[in-house]
Structure 1
């Protein structure tokens, strides 16, 4: 009993600062590791849900006023005409990298958001037409792209928004809505108020491929980065284990030295 108590004293009682520090490191590292695992599982679940919803019947934007809840992440077709003079170029967007792709994720550019007036309906549908690279010398120079004229048919996937990036301050309130502009983020409600038109409560991410209009639409899957999350989680759990081992070895060395000095 005394031996056990002396071991406990050597590990914990006489090393309160070291024990508290080790517990803190282990708690933080385990928490971070669990968070990384949860992010990976969240991406996998989102990707599975997206795939399931894409296999549902295709919606038609011209036949009904769809709510976000019923249309989100589903495929949708639409017929109408683009309004290029009201386009918004969303800055600081990484180039989409399809499954199996590599090497281009760090390249920055724009998402081209363009309103699409639905045929036969007094309603506008905002469309994420794709990605284009940014001019390296002058970011104010917009990429050269082609926009179809007249009535066209498009198809894509419905999302609540095109994704958000960190922005310092708010968007400029004095904007010219009659010409293309650069913005950090897209506010669907604000655009409806600025233009004074009725619009769908979601955006459509275009899924066209093989169209030479200067835009990239090889969208990255939602599971992109899952392996990285698992790798980060392993590193955090390894740090927690290393912290425990260092604490344990340090305490045992003190216990053994004391035992030798006492002739035990």
Structure 2
């Protein structure tokens, strides 16, 4: 046993250290991927639990983000379409069946002036596809010019994408704009509005306005994390197996050579 250990480890220091490095990286990355999956599952469970709580009313009281975050909310008011913001480079939340890649498009952020309140609530009305021939052409969307009742889930922001350089706000803020990201505080200062400290992501309730509100669940991507974890653990196992088999082969070869010399 001592001879085998000496042949596998002591005489192969570089190979042993290399194998330990591969095994350590593989196991560490695999555990990290599993933790990412567990985090998503926990967040989804927490979101589902909060959505089972009583529905809030945006018109009833000035809710804080901490009170309303991830809870269902109803709101009544009029949209302000001229102040709409189209968030670019947003993939379709749930790609169509059979589609290998997610289609690129916009999230439509639109302020809703709450009825009976001097306050604005920003609403993520949904997703619309981008015109591939002319990216400046906005999708045709219907916006009612009357008081509407909407329902959604409260979030701090609509999500962010990577943006090169600093964002430059269009000089004319009184017409729809295409932006990469949405900053609630900045919009409040630009318009001088009193606004809710959160956004409402509208849910699908059968409204046909040209927007898709088939939002992806927070657990989307969990299977991918499990697949990545398997790959990393497989790499670690392959590194160990290669180190062991190559060492045993070398040990047997040396045993044969020593036997011939005797």
The 5 Å alignment of 1:215-234 reads: 215-234=211-230
1:21 and 2:18 matched: yes
Please, which of 35, 38, 42 is the counterpart of residue 39 of structure 2?
A: 42
Please, which of 155, 158, 162 is the counterpart of residue 154 of structure 2?
A: 158
State the secondary structure of the residue aligned to 1:220.
coil
Kept after mapping to 2: 8 A contact 1:93/1:109: yes
1:55 and 2:74 matched: no
Kept after mapping to 2: 8 A contact 1:95/1:104: no
Q: What is the rounded CA distance, in whole Å, between the counterparts of 2:100 and 2:175 in structure 1?
A: 30
The 5 Å alignment of 1:5-154 reads: 5-97=2-94, 101=97, 103=99, 106-154=102-150
Q: C-alpha offsets along residues 146-176 of structure 1, whole Å, 9 cap, x if unaligned?
A: 0011211111000111111111111114432
State the secondary structure of the residue aligned to 1:262.
helix
CA distance 1:66–1:46, change in 2 (3 Å): same
Kept after mapping to 1: 8 A contact 2:170/2:177: no
CA distance 1:86–1:138, change in 2 (3 Å): same
Aligned to 1:210: 206
> Taking structure 2 as the reference length, what is the TM-score of the superposition?
0.95
Structure 2: gaps spanning 5 or more residues: none
State the secondary structure of the residue aligned to 1:137.
coil
- Report the count of equivalent residues: 260
Q: What displacement does 1:8 show?
A: 2.0
Kept after mapping to 1: 8 A contact 2:92/2:127: yes
Q: What is the rounded CA distance, in whole Å, between the counterparts of 2:234 and 2:204 in structure 1?
A: 44
Q: What is the rounded CA distance, in whole Å, between the counterparts of 1:101 and 1:36 in structure 2?
A: 26
Q: What is the rounded CA distance, in whole Å, between the counterparts of 1:204 and 1:104 in structure 2?
A: 30
CA distance 1:135–1:174, change in 2 (3 Å): closer
Q: What is the rounded CA distance, in whole Å, between the counterparts of 2:64 and 2:178 in structure 1?
A: 28
Kept after mapping to 2: 8 A contact 1:74/1:157: yes
Q: C-alpha offsets along residues 93-124 of structure 1, whole Å, 9 cap, x if unaligned?
A: 111218x9552751000000001111111111
Q: What displacement does 1:222 show?
A: 1.1
Q: What displacement does 1:52 show?
A: 0.6
The 5 Å alignment of 1:156-195 reads: 156-195=152-191
- Superposed CA RMSD in Å reads 1.6
Q: What is the rounded CA distance, in whole Å, between the counterparts of 1:220 and 1:173 in structure 2?
A: 29
CA distance 1:209–1:105, change in 2 (3 Å): farther
State the secondary structure of the residue aligned to 1:77.
strand
